[in-house]
Chains A and B, each alone.
Chain A
């Protein structure tokens, strides 16, 4: 059973471009979480999704950021018009439903904005 797969592992974008980060959850997992980690800082929660629904986006910046988890295919974190401050590691995690379930993380996408 493959783990959480994120791609690309490294992404370089020029200021003003769009960045699309993909996350394929573990098989059978219907919950996906996105986190951002700035250099030398901790993980910050961004958004929590179930299939076709955004459950909690309280950690998402109000502009330029969006996330989706369609019925078919991976979850996508989309950053429009990237700026240098968006440079960070973005981690995705997935879990089964329920409070008594652990979440498993992918290896992250390192976004560098030049």
Chain B
């Protein structure tokens, strides 16, 4: 049970910001939101994670709504190499597993 809902696919123009939404309406108070991506069939790559505050690193920004029921991953200037499947994950409260859903297939268009 992935606990998250994401659009199946999205397109983004190269150089533009890519905004990937995720719904996690049943998230518990101390569960974190993680984002990973998988390029081709490579191992998943960690992007960013957060609890309730917005987060930013060299790869992306994570915006979490105040009620924590949804979040948005922002890639500020998408490049062709950002074409990948992006997974939004709510880490379960016990056991620390990462459950992957179906993700969003992002295609960056030249």
Residues of A within 8 A of B (CB): 4, 31, 33, 35, 37, 42-45, 48, 55-56, 89, 91, 93, 95, 98-100, 102-108
Give per-residue flags for B41-59: 1 if the beta carbon is below 8 A from chain A beta carbons, else 0: 1111110010100000000
A–B complex contacts, Cβ < 8 Å, 10 sampled = A35-B100, A37-B41, A42-B87, A45-B97, A45-B100, A48-B96, A98-B96, A99-B30, A103-B46, A107-B43
Partner of A45, one of B36, B51, B98: B98
- Name the residue of chain A whose CB is nearest to the CB of B42: A107
Chain B residues touching A, range: 20 to 34
Residues of B within 8 A of A (CB): 30-32, 34, 36, 38, 41-46, 49, 51, 87, 91, 93, 95-103
Q: How far is the CA of A55 from the CA of B45 in the complex (A)?
A: 24
Least distance between A111 CB and chain B CB atoms (Å): 13
From A43, A89, A103, A106, name the one whose CB has the most chain B CB atoms within 10 angstroms: A43
Least distance between A35 CB and chain B CB atoms (Å): 7
Contact yes or no, B98 A103, CB < 8 A: yes
Contact yes or no, B101 A42, CB < 8 A: yes
Contact yes or no, B96 A108, CB < 8 A: no
11 further A-B pairs in the complex, CB-CB below 8 A; given A33-B98, A93-B43: A42-B103, A43-B87, A45-B97, A45-B98, A48-B95, A48-B96, A91-B43, A100-B49, A102-B34, A108-B42, A108-B43
